[in-house]
């Protein structure tokens, strides 16, 4: 083999090879705005979101929303309410959102106290007495994180400070936190698209001969390549890149596999990036070409196609106003009609990789999800459409789960979810023959 490559190099123009390789190793990543601009953009979004809280309170039948937290023990909602240049809450930060009625005219919304002397409590009490809200939402839900972020020490402190009369007016309204966190603004989509472009370019580069040397590179090497690459692209992650060599046993989980990547392998990645207060969550698959192959075997393409069909079914059925379980049930019925076996486990995405709101299946709850599946799917949200199709691969005599995931936004015109940047319809191909001559020369 080595002789053969040397022969190619001698008989071809070395410069041509170098130029091609150079061009290939520099895919064009469009930079996100500078951090300073990002902060301005994020605060504009934040102000718009916060300005909707008074009407959100009215919609959910409450007059106020009280949050209290200490530095390092923040309410979950804090991360969707804080300014871009703020991080942890300072000292004890108490926020009182109100319906902005005449009783609190001229006061900010939220009214905010940062305190470590106890001074907040008489002031809060006096504010409540003046405002006289009948129902005050606090985040004490037992099941929903976005409605359950009030720490128990804070609750005890509030109870003592305000007394039973006010505690009686406190109500648990988890839908408030869910709707606040999960609702997207139209102006976010442009940047969410840019993030998806970064993700796709990274996959194109990661699943290629530029990054993988079959027989040498491991799945973990590749996972860490993605981690390091993110640093150079000024994005972070909420989800360590999990790279697997897919086999019959591979099941969606919280880790990749520990394998050396070989020719003929079917690869899979599950990961997301974080930037500008938003998160992505993507799963794609790749095939490592064998010597002489120019495309993936047809059986693998068919498996991906089947998973694509499940995506179509999912997006066709999914509507705002349905519960997660209703969507799940209808998808399963349609899959059965079409003879497709597989599983769906989609979730909202946005401020968090796993965002607030109705989920559509779980890997361990394939047919019905208590609580989170019973929630109603809200419009103006992003969803991560996550699923797998079983497909028999005769060459390997194995049934493989074809696992893919793409992020979708709610399209106002059609009132449907659409993929932010299309979807994977072709396996990424790792084509070792493309840089083998150069690699051989380097060693
Ligand atoms: C990352 O940030 C640095 C510093 O602001 C900038 O020079 C560079 O162009 C950015 N790179 C990308 C790909 O966004
Ligand atoms: C509250 O009302 C004032 C006018 O009284 C207005 O300027 C402000 O934007 C309102 N705040 C919110 C959060 O709606
Ligand atoms: C965000 O910044 C504004 C302007 O400085 C300030 O009024 C507001 O209280 C801050 N929000 C929070 C949640 O700290």
pLDDT tens track for 130-155: 999 999 999 999 999 999 999 999 99
What is the span of the domain harbouring residue 146?
Answer: 53-182
- What is the rounded distance in angstroms from the CA atom of residue 127 to the CA atom of residue 161? 13
Nearest CA to ligand 3 atom 14: 82
Tokens representing residue 286 in the block: 């790749």
Find tokens 């049930």 and name the residue: 329
Give the span between the Cα atoms of 15 and 25, in whole angstroms. 15
Domain ends where: 147, 182, 217? 182
Report the Cα 321 to chain-centroid distance in Å. 22
Q: Please tell me which residue, 436 or 357, carries the higher pLDDT value.
A: 357
Best residue among 31, 230, 232, 233 to mutate for probing ligand 1's pocket (most ligand atoms within 8 Å of CB) is 31
pTM (whole model) above 0.75? yes
pLDDT of residue 332: 98
Residues in the chain: 443
Q: What is the CATH number of the domain that holds 151?
A: 3.40.350.10
Cβ(47) to ligand 2 under 6 A? Answer: no
User: What is the number of helices (H) and of strands (E) in the chain?
Assistant: 14, 15
Q: Is 392 helix (H, G, I), strand (E, B) or coil?
A: strand
Q: Which of 56, 38, 75, 66 lies closest to 179 in space, CA to CA? A: 56
Is the pLDDT at 396 greater than 50? The verdict is yes
Q: Whose CA is nearest to atom 4 of ligand 3?
A: 83
Of the bound ligands, which one is closest to the alpha carbon of residue 37? Answer: 1
Whether 229 has a pLDDT exceeding 70, the answer reads yes
Residue-level pLDDT at 4: 42
Atom number of ligand 1 nearest to Cα 234: 1
For residue 22, being part of any structural domain is answered with no
195 exposure class (CB count in 10 Å sphere: 0-12, 13-18, 19+): buried
Shared domain for 170 and 278, answered yes or no, is no
The mean pLDDT value for 294-313 works out to 98
Beta carbon of 38 within 6 Å of any ligand 1 atom:
no
Ranges of H-type helices in 270-428: 298-317, 324-337
Residues 190 and 248 in one domain: yes
Kindly state whether residues 333 and 427 are assigned to the same domain.
Answer: yes
> 156, 182, 208 — which closes off a domain?
182
Residue 15 confidence (pLDDT) = 38
Q: Judge if the beta carbon of residue 79 lies within 6 A of ligand 1.
A: no
Q: How many domains does the chain have?
A: 2
Extended beta strands in 34-158, E state: 64-70, 92-98, 111-115, 136-137
Domain co-membership, 159 together with 250: no
């Amino acid at each position: 083999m080595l002789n053969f490559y040397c022969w190619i190099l001698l008989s071809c123009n070395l410069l041509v090879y170098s130029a091609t390789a150079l061009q290939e190793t520099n895919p064009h990543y469009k930079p996100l705005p500078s951090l300073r601009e990002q902060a301005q953009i994020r605060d504009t979004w934040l102000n718009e979101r916060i300005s909707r809280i008074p009407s959100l309170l009215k919609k959910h039948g409450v007059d106020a929303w009280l949050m209290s937290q200490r530095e390092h023990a923040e309410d979950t909602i804090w991360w969707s309410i804080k300014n871009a240049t703020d991080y942890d809450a300072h000292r004890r930060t108490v926020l009182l959102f109100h319906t902005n009625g005449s009783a609190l005219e001229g006061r900010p919304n939220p009214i905010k106290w940062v305190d470590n002397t106890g001074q907040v409590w008489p002031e809060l009490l006096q504010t409540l007495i003046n405002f006289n809200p009948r129902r005050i939402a606090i985040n004490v839900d037992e099941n929903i994180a976005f409605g359950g972020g009030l720490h128990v020490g804070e609750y005890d402190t509030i109870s003592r400070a305000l007394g039973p009369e006010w505690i009686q007016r406190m109500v648990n309204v988890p839908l408030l936190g869910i709707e606040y966190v999960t609702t997207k603004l139209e102006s976010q989509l442009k940047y969410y698209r840019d993030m998806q472009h970064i993700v796709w370019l990274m996959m194109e580069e990661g699943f290629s001969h530029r990054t993988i040397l079959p027989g040498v590179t491991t799945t973990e090497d590749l996972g860490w390549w993605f981690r390091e690459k993110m640093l150079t692209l000024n994005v972070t992650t909420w989800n360590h890149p999990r790279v697997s060599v897919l086999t019959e046993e591979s099941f969606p989980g919280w880790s990749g596999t520990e394998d050396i990547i070989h020719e003929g392998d079917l690869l899979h990645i599950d990961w997301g990036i974080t930037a500008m207060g938003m998160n992505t969550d993507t799963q794609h698959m790749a095939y490592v070409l064998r010597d002489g192959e120019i495309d993936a075997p047809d059986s693998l393409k068919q498996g991906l196609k089947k998973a694509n069909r499940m995506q179509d079914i999912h997006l066709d059925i999914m509507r705002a106003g349905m519960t997660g379980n209703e969507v799940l049930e209808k998808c399963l019925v349609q899959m059965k009609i079409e003879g497709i076996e597989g599983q769906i486990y989609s979730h909202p995405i946005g401020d968090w990789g796993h965002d607030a709101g109705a989920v559509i299946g779980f890997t361990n709850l394939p047919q019905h999800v208590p609580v989170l599946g019973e929630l109603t799917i809200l419009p103006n949200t992003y969803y991560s459409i996550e699923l797998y199709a079983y497909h028999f691969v005769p060459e390997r005599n194995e049934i493989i789960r074809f696992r893919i995931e793409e992020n979708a936004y709610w399209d106002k015109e059609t009132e449907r979810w659409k993929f932010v940047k299309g979807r994977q319809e072709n396996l990424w191909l790792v084509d070792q023959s493309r840089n083998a001559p150069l690699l051989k020369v380097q060693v």
